[in-house]
Every structure is written in C-alpha cells, then in structure tokens.
Amino acid sequence: MDLNALRTAHPDHWSKATAIRALTLDAVAEANSGHSGMPMGMADVATVLFEKHLKFDAADPLWPDRDRFILSAGHGSMLLYSILHLVGDAQFPIEEIKNFRQMGARTAGHPENFLADAVETTTGPLGQGIANSVGFAMAEEIQRAHYGAKVVDHHTYVIAGDGCLMEGVSQEAITLAGRHQLSKLIVLWDNNNITIDGPVTLSDSTDQVARFKAAGWHTIEIDGHNPNEIDAALTEARKSDQPTMIACKTHIALGHAAQDTSKGHGALTDADQMAAAKAAYGWTTGPFEVPGDVKSAWEEIGKRGASERAAWEERFDKMPRSKRETFNRALAFETPKKLSATIKAFKKQMSEAAPKLATRASSEKVLEVLNPILPETVGGSADLTGSNNTKTGDLGVFDTDNRGGRYVYWGVREHGMAAAMNGMALHGGIRPYGGTFMCFTDYARPSMRLAALMKIPTVFVMTHDSIGLGEDGPTHQPVEHLAISRATPNTYVFRPADTIETAESWEIAFSSKNTPSVLSLTRQGLPTVRTEHKNTNMVEKGAYVLADAEGKRQVILIATGSEVSVALAARDLLQAEGIGVRVVSMPCMELFAAQDEAYRKRVLPGGAVRVGVEAGVRQGWDRWLFGERGKFGKAAFVGMDRFGASAPAEELFEKFGITAEGVAAAAKDLL
Amino acid sequence: MDLNALRTAHPDHWSKATAIRALTLDAVAEANSGHSGMPMGMADVATVLFEKHLKFDAADPLWPDRDRFILSAGHGSMLLYSILHLVGDAQFPIEEIKNFRQMGARTAGHPENFLADAVETTTGPLGQGIANSVGFAMAEEIQRAHYGAKVVDHHTYVIAGDGCLMEGVSQEAITLAGRHQLSKLIVLWDNNNITIDGPVTLSDSTDQVARFKAAGWHTIEIDGHNPNEIDAALTEARKSDQPTMIACKTHIALGHAAQDTSKGHGALTDADQMAAAKAAYGWTTGPFEVPGDVKSAWEEIGKRGASERAAWEERFDKMPRSKRETFNRALAFETPKKLSATIKAFKKQMSEAAPKLATRASSEKVLEVLNPILPETVGGSADLTGSNNTKTGDLGVFDTDNRGGRYVYWGVREHGMAAAMNGMALHGGIRPYGGTFMCFTDYARPSMRLAALMKIPTVFVMTHDSIGLGEDGPTHQPVEHLAISRATPNTYVFRPADTIETAESWEIAFSSKNTPSVLSLTRQGLPTVRTEHKNTNMVEKGAYVLADAEGKRQVILIATGSEVSVALAARDLLQAEGIGVRVVSMPCMELFAAQDEAYRKRVLPGGAVRVGVEAGVRQGWDRWLFGERGKFGKAAFVGMDRFGASAPAEELFEKFGITAEGVAAAAKDLL
C-alpha cells in the first residue's frame, strides 16, 4: 500500500483513522497481548462510519434511538475502544486505553457489554455479533411498528471478519435477515483474506458476495481504505430496501511489517516495527498521545448526534404517557404491576382445575395470560411451534408486511434464534423467548452461554425434556442437558412439575433483569401436584416440601419436573409400608442454592436417607444428596447414566427404572 | 401430481418406489409415530440411486469400498429401512419394519449407526449428516491417496432436507467441500418447500442453488419424481470435478391427502387416507406385504454389487501384506504393537528431562512421536494450529493437490470440523483428532455428543482450558466446559497435569475403539509432576496417589491438570505445619469411576478431609468429595463459581483464590 498517497489524498480522514491505528499499537504493546491488525485494517471504514453515518451521541451512549454498532470481530476490540476514547465517551479516558486487558479495566480483551454502556454486545466467539445483529434489527422493526418512526428509527451496523462469515451461525443469521428484508441492517465485511492459520484461501474459497446475494442481500464491493468509496457505499446501503453487505477490501495491519500476513492478526509489539509503522503513517506523537486537532475533530464527531438526540427527546415526550411508560418499563426489563396478580389468579384457577397436562402445554396456557399484559414479549420457535407451544393467539406473526408481529418463525436455526434473541434483549425494549427441543440446547449453546455472561434475561423454552419424548430416540432425548445448563453460571434452569410450577417459573423468567432462563418442559402429560393454592411463588425458593412424611421421617425424595409425580407415587408405596417419606420438589437448583442455610436445612434436614429422582444424569445432584447435611453414605439417585433409546415413553421409564417402584426400592435399599 | 402418468410412464420404477412408500405408511401407522412424508417424497430419487448408481452389496454392508449413503434428513428413517429390507439386508427382515420405533428394534426412530451395519451414521439432529459426509469424502480421498484407486474408489451420497440446509453447520460443511473440491460427494436436496411450521418460505427465502454455487459446487436442478432426470443428474454428478448438489423438486407425502403440507411431514396414520393413497398408487397388497416381483427386483438391486465386490477383494488381496494389515488394523481401530513401547520410551525420557511445558505443547511432543507410527491419524485445527499445537512435521497438508495430506486446516468451523471428524471415523480407516479453544466446545457440542452416542473414538483437542489463558477474557475462558463434557455419557475427559499424563492420555485416546476423548490442555506452562518413571499408564486408572502424606494423613487434595501443581504446592505449605497431606491427581473421572471399589477406596480412603481443586465449576466434584466415603461434611472445593475476567493469568488465579495458599486455607478450615 502506498500510505503516502492515501494520506495525501485525504489528509483529514487519514489523521483521524491513524489515531485509531496508533492507539491500537500502543495499547497492545503496553498489554503485550491483543490483536493489532484488524483495527489497523478497518480504521478507515470505522472512521467514515462514525464520522458520517452512525447516529450516536457520545454524551449518552444509551440513547434508545441511537444506531447500533456491533463489532462482530470482537478480537479487534481496540478499534472500538480507540473510537470511544477519541469521541469523548466518558467511560473511556486514556487510562482505560492504557489499561487494555488489565484487571478491572473496561477495555477487556474482547468487548463486554456489561462493562461499558457503548458496548452493545459481547463478542469474541466468532459469528455471534452478526447473529445478534439480526435480533437488533428485528427489535428495531418491531419497536418502530409499535411506537412509530418518530421514536424508533435507527440502523444496525456490523463489522464482521472472515471468521464470522465462516462460522455456521452466520448463515442462519444472514438467511433470516434476507428472509425478513431487514433493510436497516448493514454489514461491513473486513475482507482482508487473513485468518490465524494463514490466508483465508487455505481453508475457504467461498464467493461471499454471491452467498449474501443468494440469501437476499444487497451487496457492494469497495476499497476499504478509500473514504469516498466507504461513504458512498454506506449512503447506498442506507437507501436499500434489503439488508446490505459491503465487502471492504482491506489490508490487515496496514502499514506494518506484518501487513497482509497472519502474523498481523495478533499482537504487534516489536518496538522497531511499531516505530516504522508510525513513521510511515506520518504519526509523530508519543505513545497514547493524540494531537490536539485530531482529538478535537473526533470529539466533534462525538457531539454530532447531540441535536438529533434533543429533537428525539422532544418527540418522545410528546408520546402519550402510557406509551412512554411502557417503553421505559420494557427498556429497564421491569414488569407491569398486574403481572403478579395475573399469575396468582391463574394459579388459583389451575390448582382448582388440576389439569393433567404436559408442562409444554401448561406453558402455553401461561403465555396465553402473560403475553397480553406484556407487550414487550416476542415469542418464537425453531420450526417446532406446535411442539414447543410457544405461540399464543394475540401475538401476530413478524413478517415483511407485519413488522409489529410478536411471533417469529425462526426456521430450523436454533443457534441463530438464540443469538438473535440475545440481540433483541440487548437492543432493549423486547423480552424474547424461543423454543426448541431440549436436546438441541447443544445447537444453541454458544449463545446460551453468552446470554448468561452478558447478564440478559433471554428465555429458552426447551420442551421434550427427557426420555419421556419416546420414539424419536436418543438423538432427541436429553440426558446431560439439565446438567449442562446448570453448570453454566448465571442461568436459571427451571424444571416445573406441573402447571402451577410452570406459571411460577414463567413469572420469575419474565421478571428477571440479568439472568437468562431455561425452561425444561415435558412432552408427556403430568398430573397437577400442587392442588392447594398458595399465593407465594414456591419456585422462587428453588425447592420446597411438597408432601411431608406421615410418622417418622425416614426418607426424603427429591425430584424435579416429570419425576415429582413419580416421587409422590413412590411415597405412597413406602408410606403404605409404614415408612415416613417427605417429597421435596426442586424446580430450580440455582434458586435453592441461593436460599439461606436455615431454609435449606428446613427443606433438607439430616436424619433421613435421600433419593434424588430426575430423568437425567446424576452430575450436579450429589450436592443435594450428600453435600448439604445428608446422612453420610445414605443416598441414592434414580436417573439416567447412559443415552436413551427409541421406544414408547412408558416402556423407557420402565427400562431405565425411573418408576415409583424403582424409587421405592432405592430408598428401601438405604434403610 | 398425476400419479397415474408417473406410473404409466415408468411402471417398473413406479412399483419399486411405491414399495418404499407403502412400507413407510404401514410402519408409521403400526408405530403410531414417525415421519411418513419424506420417504414418500424421496422414494423416486432413492430408488434410482440404489438401482443404478450406488455401489453396494446387500450381502456385505461393511465392504470397505462401498459407496456411502447418508440420510442427513434422519427423520425420514423409513426411507432407509424400507430399502434395506427390500434389497435383502439380513439385518432388516420384515419383522424389523413391523417393529419400527419399538424397544430393541434396529429400526429406531432415527437411524443409529451402532444398531445396523448399513446405517453409516446417526442422524436426526439436522445438518449432521451432510456435515459428516464431508468427512466421509475426505477420508475417501486420503485413503485413496494412501492405498490407490484400485482399493479405495467410492462416492458419498447424501439426502438432505430443507432443515439440514437451514442449519448453520451445513454452511461450514459445504464451504469445506467446495474448498477441497470433493468431487465424489453428491448431495441430493429434497426440495419440497415444507418444514414443520409450514412452507419453507415462512422462514427462509434462500436461493440454495446459488448458495451452493457460491461455495464452489456444481449444481443440477431436476424433477425429483422423474426417474430419467434423476438418473441423468446422478450420471452428470459422478463426472463432475466439483462436489455436486442436485436440487430435487419433490412433493412431500406424495399421493396422500397431506401432500405438500406440513402435516405431511409427520405421522400419517389415518386409515382411510392411507387406503386412498395406496389406491392412488395402484398398490393392492396388504400391510407390510410387497408383491413378489417387486421384492425380487429389489433383491436383484441388492446383489448388483456382488461381482464388483469380488473383484475388489481380489485386488485388495494383491496389495502387499503390510499394507493390507495396516488397512485392516486401522479399519478396526486397532493400534500397532509399537504404540505402547513408544509411549513408555517417551515417558521415560520426559520424566528424566522434566520439562516445564504447557500441556498443549506436551501434546505436540506426544503427537510428534505417535503420528509417524499411526499412519491412520488425521490432525487438524479450527484455525488455531499454532495455539492448539496439533500439527506435526510429518503429516503433510490435505489439499486439492495433496490428497494424502494428513493435516486439515479446518478454518473457523469448530462445528463443521467436529462433524467431519466424526464422518472420517465412521468412514473407517482414519483416526481423526482436531483442536480448538476449550471454550468453543460450545460450538462443536452437537457433534461431540453424537460422537459419544455413535460410539466412535474422535479426539477433541481442547486447549486454553481455564482462566489460565488470561487476557482474552471470559468469552474465551472455559468454566463449565469440563462439567459439560463429563456430563455426557461415553466420553473420556482427560485433564493431564504434565507431559507424562498427556502422553498417557493420548495413548488411551488413540487406543479407544468406541469412546470419544476430550483432551483439556493448558495454554500456560506447567512443571512436570511425574518425575519418577513408571511403565504403567496411570491415567488409565483415572486417579492415583501422586504424593502421599508424611505422618498422619489428615487431608486429601484432589486436583486435575494445571491445578495438580497448585495442590502439590499447597501440600508443601501444610506439611511444613505438620499436617499430613495426600495429593491425588485425577486426570480422568470417567476412568476412575470405572475402577473397582477397592481401588477407589485405596486412593480416596475415609478419615481425612478432602479438598477438590480445579479451575472450573464444582459440578461433578461432589461425588469425589462426599459421595465416595469422604468424611461427612468435611470437604471443600477450590474452583470457579462464576465467569472469569480479562487480565493476566497469574492475577486471575490470585483473584479467584486458586492458589497454594487458597487451597491450604480451605483445608485448614476443615480441620
């Protein structure tokens, strides 16, 4: 690259873009760790985007109608941090840049949404940002339909790398965006032909432009170092009625000895090479120093949106009060006052009616009463609507001609659904929930983990939650998936036993602000076990005594979900023999673990043998069987220690011994 | 559809294809469960494939040079089962068809490779089959390069549905196949425009033909009910020098009242509608009855490959004996005799040299000595070759001009890599291993689970296995991933503490026939803890006493991987205070659980407090802390109960208290 020519042709642009490059080199060198090349390659694109197109106000990074900027290639975090510092974001003083990748800094190795207001989403695991962005763009469409374009009218811009586009989830994302013609979604592809192992061509020969076209996108190809081309492309993209992918041909680590090599992807810390690069840029200030005029020019960019924001606030204030309240309430993930009363009334009705229902059907009943009072919910399913029971009558279907529709047919895209739901939650104003078979937790895992890490309340509705699904067999029968979700920090895993517990689980999931929920629901019908109405949300306690021992308490059976009724039946068998049995329902281990010790001890006192019952693996159960003051050595677990099989459900429960008789026998063995 | 016209135009073909449709209807009706529509829609395509193109011999479904047939749309299992019955596969008498989806039948809800020889892979979770198929086709190329086309020369045929193509993993698969120009891979897309939720257009508008072209595929579009077009397309595909996708326009549930509807996807059990469909087909025999001439015609198809197989056997027998032996040994997943001696010599050398190495670097050292004696290994990495240390000098790189290369640059495709590795193992003759960061277990999960379910010895090399990776931060720091893999049945999770344990772990992984392995390896350097050479493979015992207490044993520290040296240092601290401490290294919980009780008791006797140490979540540990005769209530765990952070590694271990001092303090708290 002839840097001199670039610099001479566009001197003002050049100095602004070079500030990003210089700060990146300095921060990575100081940390002796990080990724220099991507910010150096995409500095021109990002500069033009922030200078001329992105609607934002550095003074208020949370302005609800800002354009969203998503750095899907999250390893290039210094691109974002440099810009946030340059535009004057108060959370990014130069000290933060100097502390890049150090303990407690906002400038984490990869951008983390919960560390800084201007970081829209947590990226780093490749493909997640671009898949989140689909949810951001859908959320904008839905909110615009609900509140009008005067209040909601913004774009979602994404910078994605070759790695993002190689990840499978990117295909789920771009085909969704193409299907729904999300014209306000604009992806800038950092087309630098370099990955860690070498040139992209080592492992990929995809014609990305043709691929995006095949998915229904508008595409533009530009020189990613030419500010005029970048500007024109962004202008064209904003006018398109399709989502747009701009292929930006760039040089990774522009101007550095490592330019255009895979070495350029990583940490460029050699002092001589850094000096040479800065000299080639014509950059003469010391480390972490930005010339005053360049900093001022960037700060002007940071203020560019201030008047637009003020005008927006005026328009917002003119909305009817109730709409404003709903808008703000949803943005804060707060619940309407009537949620609690609605749940209580529903529970009362159901404990009286005591229906025999699969909990997936119970869940639908709950959603039928909650969706109407929570206009911010958006439901969906990854092509299992009738099986996941996620669609209720009032939602309407999100489509090109019904942007206000609150139900999404996600197609066979579990991962894309999970990532886009995260995007909706991150965008704000939407409470997303979506379903698939629990076994396909596996497909959605990367985004489910990120929901937990990002502290957002996405709800994953996982039906067909055990061998109880029967004939579809072991590929579809979750065995380890409860353990997987429970192993994940900051995740509620609910396994309700009946309609009442299902309602209580939903109440918690829809009231959560910072924690995602997994609802583990059955395919098969279950009796109502909570026939005595209580206003208290018992699931909130995590576990509670459902039926106490008659006579001396010799056995405690602890069960979840579909196995609670098995435990109750086992109790009948044992009590008939004069053995006193307490049954504890444990719909949420995480919430039980969060109770104080006194409560936990009341529910699980010593002096009795314990049997855990769950149609899944034992992993995670020993804490409750032994670790919490169980009588030493006197505990057993009735569950699965292998994959399931294809056969009718009742036969499978027999085969694997998850029956009242099996549980009673396990308890008697211990006595 | 005018069935009469189809029937009249190709009467012989029609009756053969209709036999599939009729058996499908009967089996699903008998099971009252299953998927009728796909086999009914794809019967014509499958009939022509088996009749005129697929190289197979029903008498020997394991013939190594057979063409592979992969039903990626696994829910249409009755398509495969019907054909296997019709061609006379001895494992599929009519009783199996009648027992569809019943306990113990080979005819499971979804095809399971371990239930029947002719089932090449387990499908059902969508997209897996097509992604496996890339591994099958690569394995064929590699084996052909190694053994010559006289012995290895076959195609891989796949039937994939709309769901398979919507799943992200399909993109990783098809771009890999395109990049490597896997011309012997032929995908038949069941283009029926129906998914469970409705028409495909409800959720997807992708131009699939253009998409495959963009990935470097040859494409052909045909009427999937016209046998001439099907035949011509398959002929053309076999001649192509690119992988070929044949878009077969079909009608789901052809001829049934539910034709072309999402209802047609599921179980069509209505007796009247079944009778009407059979009448429309001109099918007059009773349930499960195939007219003699039709059955004979199919049986002839089943014998079609017999002479070809005989000729192949002659050619095979002419290969040099050593080549034949290697071929057969690799096919049986057997190890060469010298493996054990090689490992022992390596261990002896390393226990003397006692290097300080990251276990990922130890792993590379092991591979350097094992790859040369195991010509069947194929290594690779998902774009982290230098970080995963998976490439050794002698492998050569698999490419279009080096088909014998044994190293694959998988690109940023963790899921596609895992699925393709499974395909290689299933193909036979290849022992695949591949690396990524342990955190991206999440991306590979669906295929990792299937490796376990399918009982194949794929090896997943997961480096950067804790907060010890440092600055990349919580998105890249596994916390729950050991628990996730351990929760999965039939999976070895190895977390070696040093070079010696790493060598022992590899020995087990490369000797395994039916169990996949996860190697959890560090980024950071670790001291050698096994400096006294032992011939015995101690990892095989799962856990063992690494350092015993001096004086009265008051504490047992149990640790894995990078925390073993932390435990040893904690032991020093405690012994200095006169507290007797045993350190148990537990590199593989699954293998320890498989030891007899006497051994487990010897390693973990009662009468001492226990502290578990692992830089991951506690889930899975309580069994060893309490469940196995620990002193009640006297145990603790030092590990992670939240996500990590971005900072230098040593600071993170300090912050989270995973230090010798922290462990010693936890032990003293218990005394």
Whether A201 has a pLDDT exceeding 80, the answer reads yes
Mean pLDDT value of segment B538-559: 97
Annotated binding-site residue? A464:
yes
Whether A630 has a pLDDT exceeding 50, the answer reads no
Mean pLDDT value of segment B504-509: 98
Whether B630 has a pLDDT exceeding 70, the answer reads no
**A283 and A403 within one domain:** no
**A567 and A523 within one domain:** no
Mean pLDDT value of segment A324-336: 98
Look at residues A264, A291, A309 and tell me which one is the last residue of a structural domain: A309
Establish if A578 belongs to a structural domain: yes
Give binding residues of B for thiamine diphosphate as ranges. 75, 124-126, 163, 192, 265, 440
Cα angle A394-A399-A405, degrees, rounded to a multiple of 5: 25
Mean pLDDT value of segment B307-332: 98
Chain A: closest CA distance from residue B101 (Å): 5
pLDDT of residue B627: 60
Whether A603 has a pLDDT exceeding 90, the answer reads yes
pLDDT digits over B338-353, tens only?
999 999 999 999 999 9
Q: In Å, how far from its chain's centre is CA B328?
A: 21
**A480 and A423 within one domain:** yes
Mean pLDDT value of segment B220-224: 98
pLDDT digits over A238-293, tens only?
999 999 999 999 999 999 999 999 999 999 999 999 999 999 999 999 999 999 99
* B192 band by pLDDT with thresholds 50, 70 and 90: very high
Whether A634 has a pLDDT exceeding 90, the answer reads no
Establish if B122 belongs to a structural domain: yes
Q: What is the mean pLDDT of chain A?
A: 97
Interface test with A, best of B114, B383, B436, B625 (most A CBs within 10 A): B383
What's the one-letter identity of residue B607?
Answer: G
How long is chain B? 671
Residues of A marked active site are found at 414
pLDDT digits over B122-131, tens only?
999 999 999 9
Q: Does the beta carbon of A572 lie under 8 angstroms from any beta carbon of chain B?
A: no
Cβ-based contacts of B202 with chain A (< 8 Å):
409, 411
Mean pLDDT value of segment B532-558: 97
Contact B384 A216 (CB under 8 A): no
Mean pLDDT value of segment B421-447: 98
**B35 and B163 within one domain:** yes
* A633 band by pLDDT with thresholds 50, 70 and 90: low
Contact B125 A473 (CB under 8 A): no
How many structural domains is chain A composed of? Answer: 3
How long is chain A? 671
| Tokens 């590199």 belong to residue | B587
Residues of B marked active site are found at 414
Establish if A316 belongs to a structural domain: no
* A627 band by pLDDT with thresholds 50, 70 and 90: low
Share of chain A above pLDDT 70, in %: 99
Does residue B610 sit in helix, strand or coil? Answer: strand
Q: Does the beta carbon of A329 lie under 8 angstroms from any beta carbon of chain B?
A: no
Mean pLDDT value of segment A310-322: 98
Cβ-based contacts of B206 with chain A (< 8 Å):
175, 178-179, 214-216
- Residue B137 CA to residue B115 CA, distance in Å, equals 23
Q: Does the beta carbon of A214 lie under 8 angstroms from any beta carbon of chain B?
A: yes
Annotated binding-site residue? A360:
yes
- Residue A463 CA to residue B72 CA, distance in Å, equals 23
End-to-end CA distance of chain A: 80
pLDDT digits over A527-556, tens only?
999 999 999 999 999 999 999 999 999 999
**B587 and B515 within one domain:** no
Considering only CB atoms, A203 lies closest to which of B179, B202, B633, namely B179
Establish if A323 belongs to a structural domain: no
Question: Which value does ipTM take for this structure?
Answer: 0.98
* B476 band by pLDDT with thresholds 50, 70 and 90: very high
pLDDT digits over A162-196, tens only?
999 999 999 999 999 999 999 999 999 999 999 99
Contact B215 A214 (CB under 8 A): no
Q: Which residues of B435-463 are buried (b: 16+ CB within 10 A; e: fewer)?
A: bbbbbbbbbbbbbbbbbbbbbbbbbbbbb
* B631 band by pLDDT with thresholds 50, 70 and 90: very low
Q: Residues 354..383 of B with a Cβ closer than 8 Å to A: which?
A: 381, 383
Identify the residue with better confidence: A636 or B413: B413
Closest listed residue to residue B278, CA positions, set B21, B13, B14, B10: B21
- Residue A354 CA to residue A389 CA, distance in Å, equals 19
Establish if A318 belongs to a structural domain: no
Chain A: closest CA distance from residue B480 (Å): 5
**B500 and B356 within one domain:** yes
Look at residues A309, A328, A353 and tell me which one is the last residue of a structural domain: A309
Closest-CA residue in chain A for B166? A412
Q: Does the beta carbon of B198 lie under 8 angstroms from any beta carbon of chain A?
A: yes
- Residue A101 CA to residue B295 CA, distance in Å, equals 69
Chain B: closest CA distance from residue A492 (Å): 14
Query: Is the Cα torsion angle A401, A403, A409, A410 positive or negative in sign?
Result: positive
Mean pLDDT value of segment A109-118: 98
Establish if A322 belongs to a structural domain: no
Whether A334 has a pLDDT exceeding 80, the answer reads yes
**A557 and A518 within one domain:** no
Report the CATH number that the domain containing residue B125 is assigned in CATH.
Answer: 3.40.50.970
Contact B216 A210 (CB under 8 A): no
Residue-wise DSSP of B330-393? HHTT---THHHHHHHHHHHHHHHH---EEHHHHHHHHHHHHGGG-TTEEEEESS-HHHHT---T
Share of chain A above pLDDT 90, in %: 97
Cβ-based contacts of B264 with chain A (< 8 Å):
none
Does residue A63 sit in helix, strand or coil? Answer: coil
**A605 and A500 within one domain:** no
pLDDT of residue A606: 86
**A354 and A273 within one domain:** no
**B258 and B214 within one domain:** yes
Q: Residues 300..319 of A with a Cβ closer than 8 Å to B: which?
A: none
Beta strands B244-249 and B517-520 are unpaired
Report the CATH number that the domain containing residue B607 is assigned in CATH.
Answer: 3.40.50.920
Whether B184 has a pLDDT exceeding 80, the answer reads yes
pLDDT digits over A438-480, tens only?
999 999 999 999 999 999 999 999 999 999 999 999 999 999 9
pLDDT digits over A213-228, tens only?
999 999 999 999 999 9
* B1 band by pLDDT with thresholds 50, 70 and 90: confident
Look at residues B479, B505, B527 and tell me which one is the last residue of a structural domain: B527
Dihedral of the alpha carbons of A106, A108, A114, A116, in degrees to the nearest 10: 40
Which pair of structure tokens corresponds to residue A228?
Answer: 């005029």
Share of chain B above pLDDT 90, in %: 97
Mean pLDDT value of segment B400-410: 98
**Radius of gyration of the CA atoms of chain A, in A:** 28
Whether A514 has a pLDDT exceeding 90, the answer reads yes
**B574 and B520 within one domain:** no
**Structural contact between residues B204 and B229, judged by C-beta atoms closer than 8 angstroms:** no
Establish if A330 belongs to a structural domain: no
- Which residues constitute the domain of residue A506? 338-527
- Residue A504 CA to residue A513 CA, distance in Å, equals 16
Cβ-based contacts of B198 with chain A (< 8 Å):
409
Contact B202 A453 (CB under 8 A): no
Establish if A328 belongs to a structural domain: no
What's the one-letter identity of residue A233?
Answer: A
Mean pLDDT value of segment A513-524: 98
Whether A629 has a pLDDT exceeding 60, the answer reads no
**A190 and A288 within one domain:** yes
Q: Does the beta carbon of A163 lie under 8 angstroms from any beta carbon of chain B?
A: yes
Whether B632 has a pLDDT exceeding 60, the answer reads no
Contact A110 B480 (CB under 8 A): no
Q: Does the beta carbon of B123 lie under 8 angstroms from any beta carbon of chain A?
A: yes
Whether A492 has a pLDDT exceeding 70, the answer reads yes
Closest-CA residue in chain B for A77? B472
Chain A: closest CA distance from residue B486 (Å): 8
Residue-wise DSSP of A467-497? GGGGGG-TTT--SSHHHHHHHSTT-EEE--S
Q: Residues 429..448 of B with a Cβ closer than 8 Å to A: which?
A: 439-440, 442-443, 445-446
Q: Which long-range contacts (CB under 8 A, 24 or more apart) does A664-667 make?
A: A664/A570, A664/A573, A664/A574, A666/A611, A666/A636, A666/A638, A667/A555, A667/A557, A667/A570, A667/A574, A667/A579, A667/A581, A667/A609, A667/A611, A667/A636
